[in-house]
Amino acid sequence: MEVPALALAFGKSLLFALAAVLPILNPPASAPVFVNLTRGLDRDTRAMLARRIGRHVVMLLAGAMLVGSYVLDFFGISLPIVRVAGGLIVASTAWRMLHAQHLANDDKAQMAQSLTADNVRIQAFYPMTFPLTCGPGSIAAAITVGASLHSRRVTEALANFAGGLAATVVIGLLVMLTYRYAGRLLRPLGEVGQIVFLRLMAFMLLCVGVQIVWDGASTLLQGLNMTQ
């Protein structure tokens, strides 16, 4: 293929991956959750955590896009099962956030002192990256995008996957910037306004988790009915 055609394939794949994954991942909707779970951390630690989450999002989406369908086939796991399992984790986390008491200043200071660099690294992947930021819906979308990027022409397939991988980098950068400056975006609400807003977002996250579980369970039930 000629260079203009490869560039066009790259651009189409980039826009296609962004349009398919970014609305589901939706970093602004997860920003209040990030603020709530990192309330006891200092600014530098939160910035480091945001960078790590952004990198982990890129790795998760890129891995799902490149080999996700092959891994699921190897272990005999279907996408509906992934949705049900991930949705349960999201709903459980949202339920705990919805009933969590607001931390006092002393509790925040104690939490910040108890967190070590290793703990922050662990939290950067679970639960901050998966499933709260990049959940089963985003991974399923990335797997679907990756399956559609295959082509009989090697050069065209390479251009398609290059565009898809570039989209994951863009999404990771958006996540990092959104999380890093989430506190400034929520600051005008005030402390009481933030509490109310975070409770509302926790409820919405709970609804998202239930919806993910329902989507996966509905697909499984439909398959069960077809086999009978």
Return per-residue pLDDT of the chain as tens, 228 residues.
577 888 999 999 999 899 888 878 888 878 888 887 787 778 888 899 999 999 999 999 999 999 987 887 888 887 788 778 777 877 776 787 777 655 444 444 444 444 455 577 777 888 789 888 998 878 888 887 887 888 888 898 899 999 999 999 999 999 999 999 988 877 776 766 767 777 777 787 788 778 878 888 888 888 777 766
Let me know: does 53 contact 37? Beta carbons within 8 Å: no
| pLDDT value, residue 191 | 65
Let me know: does 18 contact 171? Beta carbons within 8 Å: yes
Note if the pTM is more than 0.75. no
Number of domains in the chain: 1
Helices (H), the chain: 3-25, 27-37, 43-75, 79-98, 105-114, 117-125, 136-148, 154-180, 182-186, 190-227
Let me know: does 59 contact 205? Beta carbons within 8 Å: no
Separation of alpha carbons 182 and 33, rounded Å:
10
Burial of 145 per CB tally in 10 Å (0-12, 13-18, 19+):
buried
Find the domain containing 104 and state its range: 3-227
Let me know: does 44 contact 191? Beta carbons within 8 Å: no
Let me know: does 151 contact 160? Beta carbons within 8 Å: yes
Separation of alpha carbons 129 and 125, rounded Å:
5
Cis peptide before 127 (omega within 30 of 0): yes
Cα dihedral sign, 112-118-121-123: negative
